[in-house]
Amino acid sequence: MKTKLKVILVVILALVISIGSISAYKYIITPKEESIPLETTLEDAAELTTQKMIISDVFKSTKGNIPLINKNKILVQYKTTVTAGLDVKEAQIKETDDQIKITIPHCTINEDSIKIKSSDLKIYDTNFAIMSIDKEQMLEIVGEAEKKAKKRAESDEYGFLENADENAKKVMKGMFENVADGRKVIVEFQK
């Protein structure tokens, strides 16, 4: 009886040491959040899309709820391009002998531009779980990253939509000055 107890204790001890070693190894080799380079840039564009922002970000996420079985703590790094512009069909043009007045809508974020490709998504596991992330959880992570990118673009931190509006005015004015025949071109936003 004592032999069986000793064998069971040795097996349990070996299992605990193995799990602890694997967890420690993963913790040591996993890049820390502050070591992953971040980059956000703004680019002007002279088309219906009047502003483009390239966002590279990192965030923490937890999927699953049973520790050591399926609870995955991960760092997610993504990169995406967000564009903003206006619908030219909504522009209103009023011409007189001395001026051309163009009224345009404010620029909005093109939600279709916030699509994260698998090649622009990296996931770093920061703990040990026997079961890895499944497809459904992966889709949740991509959705979470896309929401974070949209929120960042909408924030006032970078002035993304304000810059898009300014570029829209420049683009529309430039398009009409070429055909204005000396008339003054005025661009304003719809109220």
Long-range contacts, stretch 62-70, CB < 8 angstroms, 24+ apart: 63/133, 63/137, 63/140, 63/141, 64/129, 64/131, 64/137, 67/129, 68/19, 68/128, 68/129, 68/130, 69/129, 69/130, 69/131, 70/129, 70/130, 70/131
Between 55 and 64, residue with greater pLDDT: 55
Report CA 74 to chain centroid distance, whole Å.
16
The fraction of the chain above a pLDDT of 90, given in percent, is: 20
Phi and psi at 180, nearest 5°, equal -80, -15
Cut 0.95: pTM above it = no
What amino acid occupies position 82?
V
Amino acid 47: pLDDT: 45
pLDDT tens digits for range 19-61: 766 666 666 666 665 555 655 555 544 446 889 999 888 888 7
- Paired strand residues for 30: none
Amino acid 164: pLDDT: 92
Could you give the strand order of the β-sheet that contains 92-95, starting from the edge strand earlier in sequence? 92-95, 99-104, 184-189
Between 82 and 26, residue with greater pLDDT: 82
Structure tokens that stand for 13 in this block: 């001890």
Range 55-82 average pLDDT: 75
